[in-house]
């Protein structure tokens, strides 16, 4: 007598037949429901979700404020297209973000659907404002999977594959990485070399940077590097774009990652955790720069969808009324302490790093040589899943295990996750 296939096995086979293989699913899990920091699959197995939709669920799955806001909004209007008729959630969200980012200065916002759209439009705005073509990005950066997004992305695989030719006038320089002996001085010298040999500063429209590289390995930019970039861009009339798509909305301990360095960017891209799970992205920036494109130059059918705007306003309300930044900092201290203890126990954890509750550990074959071990990192991830913890990898060599737990995770859940991780680390090497 054969045993009937589980719901998960049946649906995963169904996925194999009907979904393009280019869409990678990190775990062989089919989700059925979720709440806060927990997720259950179609067979009823519970997981602690420390992926959070890849940094989308900083307020957790199905936050009550988000659920209530979307439920109320869908009864009024779900979609009108802002280019046809304006609606209050869009206007109110723009005003909120202008205040959060601009802090009293004249800022404006425009909304789109995906993070890649926000990045592409930030480049359009910068080029429109400066009338210059060139853009400088960083090695290890991730800015999306569209043509320009992939061009800006500073990793070859799996993102670039055979998808070229790519967009022109995009140049990459090293991003500081103390673990790999790339200093702020090294990165700034490389930038000056690009100015001297490939793109004179008067041809550069924008420099785009993540304050903490996300897919590149959870590398925080040193504050002095961010301040130096601000000085350089102001000197040469270059637009400084800070990509806050993964680092924003409390993930690093401040509302936005750039706030750790005390700078004011010209443009900021937002997405992911902006709306607690609903698809929306945006560009927030200095009003003079944002107004450079003429009417009709920006937009998109679903950009700033009414339901997503309502959800985003609920997310911001949650931060304002539930002290989520302080909660995230408390969880960050607990998790960093736990990860450091694991590092002391397992010599293949080369480094524990990150900013706030945006933490990761780099897996290497040996600490002295720092040789990346992507295979071991994957075994750790697989063993953690078997134990009931969902995590994913990142890094140029795919050897970094990253943690994106919701800020509403409880201390008890975090302790449980660290225990599961300990067991996974042990089993992965046996």
Predicted local confidence at residue 196, as pLDDT: 98
DSSP string, 41-110: ETT--EEEESSHHHHT-TT-BT-HHHHHHHHHHHHH-S---TTT---HHHHHHHHHHHHHHHTTS-EEEE
- Report which of 100, 168, 105 is spatially closest to residue 134, judged by C-alpha positions: 168
Which residues, at least 6 apart from 168, have a Cβ–Cβ distance to it below 8 Å? Answer: 133
Predicted local confidence at residue 266, as pLDDT: 98
Interatomic CA distance for residues 58 and 75, integer angstroms: 26
Interatomic CA distance for residues 13 and 322, integer angstroms: 42
Which residues, at least 6 apart from 96, have a Cβ–Cβ distance to it below 8 Å? Answer: 313, 316
Taking a C-beta distance cutoff of 8 angstroms, is the pair 182, 174 a contact? yes
Q: Please report how the helices 306-322 and 88-102 are oriented relative to each other, as an axis angle in degrees rounded to 10.
A: 40
Predicted local confidence at residue 219, as pLDDT: 97
Task: Please provide the size of the chain in residues.
Answer: 430
* Series of mean pLDDT values for 10-residue runs along the chain (430 residues): 72 93 92 98 97 97 98 96 96 98 96 97 98 98 95 89 90 97 97 98 98 96 98 98 97 97 97 97 98 96 97 97 97 98 97 98 94 97 98 96 98 98 95
Predicted local confidence at residue 82, as pLDDT: 95
Predicted local confidence at residue 3, as pLDDT: 52
| pLDDT, tens only, 397-417 | 999 999 999 999 999 999 999
Taking a C-beta distance cutoff of 8 angstroms, is the pair 114, 144 a contact? yes
| Structural domains in the chain plus CATH codes | 7-63+323-428 (3.90.1150.10), 65-322 (3.40.640.10)
Predicted local confidence at residue 5, as pLDDT: 66
User: Rounded to a whole number, what is the distance in angstroms from the first to the last CA of the chain?
Assistant: 34
């Amino acid at each position: 007598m054969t045993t009937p296939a589980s719901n998960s096995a049946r649906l995963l086979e169904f996925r194999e037949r009907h979904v393009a293989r280019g869409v990678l699913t990190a775990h062989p899990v089919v989700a059925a429901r979720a709440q806060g920091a927990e997720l259950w699959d179609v067979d009823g197995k519970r997981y602690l979700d420390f992926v959070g939709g890849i940094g989308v669920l900083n307020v957790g799955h199905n936050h009550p404020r988000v659920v209530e806001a979307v439920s109320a909004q869908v009864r009024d209007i779900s979609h009108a297209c802002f280019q046809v008729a304006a609606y209050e959630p869009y206007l109110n969200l723009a005003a909120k973000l202008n205040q959060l980012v601009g802090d009293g200065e004249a800022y404006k916002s425009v909304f789109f659907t995906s993070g890649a759209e926000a990045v592409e439009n930030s480049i359009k705005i910068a080029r429109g404002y400066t009338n210059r073509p060139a853009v400088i990005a960083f090695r290890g950066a991730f800015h999306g999977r569209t043509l320009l997004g992939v061009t800006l992305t500073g990793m070859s695989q799996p993102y670039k594959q055979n998808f070229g030719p790519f967009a022109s006038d995009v140049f990459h320089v090293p991003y500081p990485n103390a673990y790999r002996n790339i200093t702020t001085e090294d990165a700034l010298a490389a930038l000056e070399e690009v100015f001297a040999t490939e793109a004179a500063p008067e041809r550069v429209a924008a420099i785009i940077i993540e304050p903490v590289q996300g897919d590149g390995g959870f590398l925080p930019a040193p504050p002095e590097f961010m301040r130096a970039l601000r000085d350089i861009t102001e000197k040469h009339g270059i637009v400084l774009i800070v990509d806050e798509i993964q680092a924003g909305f409390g993930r690093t301990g401040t509302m936005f990652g750039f706030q750790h360095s005390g700078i004011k960017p010209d443009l900021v891209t937002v997405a992911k955790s902006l709306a607690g799970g609903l698809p929306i992205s945006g560009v927030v920036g200095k009003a003079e720069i944002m107004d450079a494109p003429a009417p009709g130059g920006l937009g998109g059918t679903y950009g700033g969808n009414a339901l997503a705007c309502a959800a985003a306003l609920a997310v911001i309300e949650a931060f304002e009324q539930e002290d989520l930044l302080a909660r995230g900092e408390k969880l960050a201290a607990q998790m960093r302490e736990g990860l450091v203890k694991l590092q002391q126990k397992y010599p293949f954890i080369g480094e524990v790093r990150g900013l706030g509750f945006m933490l990761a550990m780099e897996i290497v074959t040996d600490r002295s040589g720092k040789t990346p071990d992507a295979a071991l990192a994957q075994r750790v991830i697989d063993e953690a899943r078997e134990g009931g913890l969902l995590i994913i990898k990142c890094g140029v060599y795919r050897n970094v295990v990253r943690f994106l737990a919701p800020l509403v995770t409880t201390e008890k859940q975090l302790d449980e996750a660290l225990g599961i991780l300990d067991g996974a680390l042990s089993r992965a090497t046996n």
